[in-house]
Structure 1
Amino acid sequence: MSLLKVTNLTKKFGKFTALDGVNLELDKGEVLGFIGPNGAGKSTTIRVLLGILKSTGGEVKVFNKDAWQDAVDIHKRVAYVPGDVNLWPNLTGGEVIDLFIKLNGTVNKAKREELIGKFDLDPSKKCRAYSKGNRQKVALVAAFSSDADLFILDEPTSGLDPLMEKVFQECVMDVKRQGKSVLLSSHILSEVEKLCDRVSIIRQGKIIESGTLSELRHLTRTQMLVDTMRPITGLNEMQGIHKIEESKQGVTFQVDTMQIDEVIKHISQFGITRLESAPPTLEDLFMRHYEGAKDTGGVR
């Protein structure tokens, strides 16, 4: 049974359709990457999941409960970190962390102290004195100190330096090992690629691709650099080859993953002296979907 299941979710603001038939599914012990540019509908979807916004249509189930009607019960088992954390200015970071942990119903002081150390946070400072990055740290420490079953993270590393991003990634892997589930909304593709079991890409309020990284790789292109003893002919006529360029190093081109075998067979006739290939990345897939596409904007 899915921990989180979104079926044909629609959300309209007046005449503007922010979400149009969104489907998402997250199983126990899984990390799902939810990616798309600002304005694609990521945060709107998350607000519906949290019961902050009511959907216009479709079904949203979290722990097999209705996200809108059972929001209070659902929140007892959810830890949420937004991309722009607002805190009570007169409370210290430590006081805010304790408040959040108590709201979750669990107190693990050892875990709290460990995470404060890992994130290099001074919990004695008033929140008004914190930078954006430190406000994110407060929310992350509070979230990962809790005993939540589902972590909903919406651009959680916004404002963090690379060292702290690495700490964050370790925390995500730690909760995954404990059998917890994570919905990670991000536009940092390298982060998603490191952490996520599956990916859903949203554009203009619609899910345009979903699957594991290996399942999606067939949609990407591999970059190749080839040098041969004799000049290569016939590349232009082959299917699945793009952006052929010649240089002193050899011939560079992109090849659709499904065509690699045929391409290698063809170029081997010319006596390969050098062959380099760069594996397709999530970024390649993402950029191909957004090439030439313009977002309507208006909603995160």
Structure 2
Amino acid sequence: MEPVIQTHDLTKHYNKVVGIEELTLTVNKGEIFGFLGPNGAGKTTTIRILVGLLRPTAGYATLLGMDTWKDSVSLKSYLGFIPDFPALYENLRGMELLDYLGRLNTQRDPVLREELCERLELSRDDLDRRIKGYSRGMRQKLAIIQALQHDPEILILDEPTEGLDPLMQNALFQILTDFQARGSTIFFSSHILPDVEKVCQRVGIIRQGKLVTVSNVEELRQEKVRTMKVVLTQEAPDGVFSVPGVMLIERNGRDIRLTVKGDINPLLRELAKLEIEDMIFEQTHLEDIFMGFYRQEE
């Protein structure tokens, strides 16, 4: 596989505050890679280094073999970037912004731009309006179109579904899948776990500036993280589920929903002391696995 995005011991400190620490990962050509973590985990710091906006304290990052800091100007034409809070020129009209940014790239594709506008339902009337009158969703659509209109080889997306309604989120997912089919490599950073689960093949989970794991989505689902629902004949006493590796997700009277990471036998021994009406193992979702990783050091 051909690596497109690489970091090695990537570190960024803000004075004494650690942004990210010794982060090493590889994203291969044609891959949609999910980068997961809550706000403040280090996702945006990583992305700003990848797009050449921040200089790392130590380590390095490369796109297409070029250093993201030293070669940042050369990399611009290969890169499409959606920041977490897109800063758009308020007094320009939408089409003026797209034209202006399009002229900065030699690989302009007006047909692609028109297709993106249609799929994201940004009409010509919308594009003729000044951006300062746009809603949050319209701004996000414009940010997506400006990032994709030159058909970039690499897409770096920081919370790209923010402000989009479910219909437009699905439209974006399909657009990203189509770009992947054409050979684009996509780095998809989000704290919204179902979004990542829908489109990504591999995910990296970041916690407090450090990479916890990198794995295929399917492999993560098959890890020893189980989600189960237990229905008791009567309410359980407090503390009965205080077992290593067990996280209580939801408790509603006699109905209990929880995840188990690792050995399930200690939990089963506790459950054997109770009268159980029903017990169901559910399909494990990425969110349950994610929360398991975040709980393990708490």
TM-score range, shorter chain: 0.7 to 0.9
Matched, 1:290 2:290: no
Q: 1:93 to 1:246 in 2, by over 3 A?
A: closer
Q: Tell me if the contact between 1:97 and 1:139 (Cα under 8 Å) persists in the aligned partners.
A: no
Alignment partner of 1:76 is 2:80: no
CA 1:284–1:106 in structure 2 vs 1: closer, same or farther (change >3 Å)?
same
Structure 1 residues 179 and 248: alpha-carbon distance in aligned structure 2, compared to 1, 3 A threshold: same
Structure 2: 5+ residue stretches without partners: 233-240
- 1:110 correspondence with 2:106: no
What's the secondary structure of 2:142's corresponding residue?
Answer: helix
The two structures have a TM-score, normalised by structure 2, of 0.82
Partner residue in 2 for 1:223: 228
Change (3 A) 1:274 1:138: same
How many Å apart are 1:135 and its aligned residue? 1.1
Shift in CA distance, 292/29, structure 1 to aligned 2, threshold 3 Å: closer
Change beyond 3 A, Cα 1:131–1:222: same
Task: Report what 2:203 is aligned to.
Answer: 199
Task: Give, in whole Å, the separation in 2 of the partners of 1:38 and 1:242.
Answer: 21
User: 1:106 Cα shift?
Assistant: 1.9
SS of 1:17's partner is strand
Q: Is the 8 A contact 1:86 1:135 kept in 2?
A: no
CA RMSD of superposed structures (Å) = 3.1
- Which residue number in structure 2 is paired with residue 160 of structure 1? 164
Residue 16 in structure 1 maps to residue 17 in structure 2: yes
Query: Which whole-Å CA distance do the structure 2 matches of 1:246 and 1:191 have between them?
Result: 27
Deviation at 1:22, TM superposition (A): 0.8
Q: Structure 1: which 5+ runs fail to align?
A: 228-235, 268-272, 295-300
Amino acid at match of 1:176: Q
- Change in Cα spacing, 1:72 to 1:239, as seen in structure 2 (3 Å) is closer
Is contact 2:8-2:22 (8 Å) kept? yes
Q: How far 1:193 moved relative to its partner?
A: 0.2
Alignment: residue pair count: 279
The separation in 2 between residues aligned to 1:192 and 1:120, in whole angstroms, is 23
Could you tell me whether the CA contact under 8 Å between 1:98 and 1:142 is conserved in 2? Answer: no
Report SS of the residue matched to 2:13.
Answer: strand
Shift in Å, 1:101: 2.3
Deviation at 1:256, TM superposition (A): 5.0
1:27-42 aligned within 5 A: 27-42=28-43
Supply the AA of the counterpart residue of 1:162.
P
Report the counterpart of residue 186 of structure 2 in structure 1: 182
**CA distances 1:186-227 after superposition (whole Å, capped 9, x unpaired):** 011000001111100111110011111122220422325589
The answer to whether the 8 Å contact 2:227/2:257 transfers is no
